[in-house]
Amino acid sequence: CLSLLLAACERQPLPFPTPAQRDLVVAVQSGPLTFTTDDTGKVAGLEYDLIEAFAQDLGVNVQYQEVSPEEMRPLLANGKVHFAAAWFSPEPGDDGTKASPPLLHSNDVLVQHEASLPVDELSELKDRTVHVLAGTRQATAMHALQASIPDVNVVEHKEGTVFDLLDEVGRREAEMALVDSAILDIALQYEPSIQPSLIIGDDRPIVWLFGDKPNSELVARVGAFIDRVQKDGTLARLQDRYLGHVRRLGAADIDKFLERIETVLPRLRPHFQAAQVSTGLDWRLLAALAYHESQWDPNATSPTGVRGIMMLTEETADRLGVSNRLNPRESIQAGARYLNYLKEQLPASTPEPDRTWMALAAYNIGPGHFNAARVIAKQLEADADSWFEMKGILPLLAQPKYYQRLKSGRARGGEAVILAENIRSYYDILTRHEQPYRGTPALSGKMLGLAGISATARESRSQAALSVSRPPM
C-alpha cells in the first residue's frame, strides 16, 4: 500500500499536447525577446513567435503562464507546464533540469556610463558595485564571481525591467550593470549614454527548460523543431525581425533625436496624430519617417527637388492635392496617405510587420522600382513577401546586370534598406518615449478639421494617389 501511495504521489509530467484534448502550456517571463505586449495589446517576442510556430506544428493552442523568475522552477518541478521560456541559459552543473537544444547564443556584458573609465579585467571589479535583476542568469554569474572576487558588491533588483536598470546606469544612479548582450543591443537605442565594457564568462546557449521528468515525446518534437527552424531560415528571419535593425544608429544620432523629441516634436505632434486619425497609421511611425526624411524640418529641400517635412516630390504633392509642400500639416497628411497607398499595393500574402518595412523602402525608391525588386526576387527564387530576403535583393537594383533588364532602370536600393532600418530604430525609440494616440470620435473629428482635410477631399486625393510614382531621390 505504501508503494502504491508513493507512486501515486510521484510527480508526473503533463501529457503530450494534442489538438483534440489539451493545449501546450508554457511558462514565460516578460521580456523584450520573450513575451511582451505592445500598446494595442498584441503580444510579440522572438521566443513567443517560435512557441507559436511550434504549437502550429503540433496543431494545438498555447496557454501562457506569465510568472516571475522565482516561480519558474517550481512550476517545472511540479509538472504544471510543458516547458518554460525566458531567454534562459542552463546553469553549470544543473543536471536536474532538462533543456532543449540551443536556440541561439548570447553572453553577459558589463555596462557602464560612457563617462566612466571602462573595466577591462575582472580584477578591477574589486570594491565596485554591479547591479543585476534578481533571478536572472546575470545574478547567478555575479554571485559565482564573488567566490574569486569577494570584495565585489552585487545589488539585486526585484522590481523593474532591464531597461529600467540600464536607465539608472545612464543617469549614473547605478555604477554598472550586468545584462544579456542581445538585450543590450536593443537598449542602446534608448540609452546612448551607456557603453559595454567587459564580457563576463563564455557564450551561453539560449534554451527552453523542461522539468526533471519531461514528456519524452515533447522533448523530441521540440528538438526536431529547433533543428528545422535553424536550417530553413525561420530562426534567422525572426532574429532579423527583432534584432536586425539595432546598432545602426550611432550614439550621436540617438542623442540628437532624443533632444528633438523634447524640443521640436511637441509642435508637430498634433499633425502626426491627425494623420493617424485619417489613415490609421501609428502617429509615431509617421513621425519616425518624417524625422528620417527631413529631421522634422518643414523647409527641408534636397538637391533632387523633394521638399518639406515628408520630402515629397512636386509630382507626388500635386497628385495628393498638396498646395504647399512646406506646410507641415499638408505634407504630413500627404506623406501618410502615400505610405498607406504603398502598403495597400503589396499583395495580401505579405504579412506585418514586413509589409510596413517594405512600404517604407518603396517610399524611398518609388513603387515602380520596388516592384522591379520583387520581380528580381522571384527570378532568384527568393521570398518577395519577406523583408529579411528583400533586404538582400534591393541593393541589386544598382547593379547593371539587373537594372539593364528592367523598365524602371537603376535605383539605389541599398539606401532604401538603410532608410527602412533606421526608421525602425527611430520608431522603437518613439514607442518607448511617446504614448499612443487614442482620440475619441469627437476629438478625432476636431483633429481632422485641424488638418484641413475633409472626408470628400481625402477620398478624391486617395483616388489620385493610385497613380502616384515617386522617382528615386
Question: What residues are labeled active site?
Answer: 293
Question: What are the residues whose beta carbons fall under 8 Å from the beta carbon of 252, sequence distance 6 or more?
Answer: 192
Strand residues in 48-163 grouped as ranges (E): 62-66, 83-88, 104-113, 129-133, 153-157
The radius of gyration computed from the CA coordinates of the chain, to the nearest angstrom, equals 26
Gap between the Cα atoms of 359 and 338, Å rounded: 9
Helix H or strand E encompassing 369: helix 367-379
Helices (H), 98-250: 137-145, 162-170, 181-187, 216-231, 234-243
Distances (CA, A) of 202 to 92, 105, 124, 126: 11, 10, 19, 21
Cell numbers of 279, please?
A: 489613415
Sign of CA dihedral 239, 244, 245, 251: positive
Contact 378, 384 (CB under 8 A): yes
Gap between the Cα atoms of 331 and 290, Å rounded: 10
For 15, which DSSP code? Answer: P
Gap between the Cα atoms of 423 and 291, Å rounded: 8
| Cα first-last separation, the chain | 83
Contact 360, 289 (CB under 8 A): yes
Using CA atoms in the order 270, 275, 277, 282, what is the torsion angle rounded to 10 degrees? Answer: -90
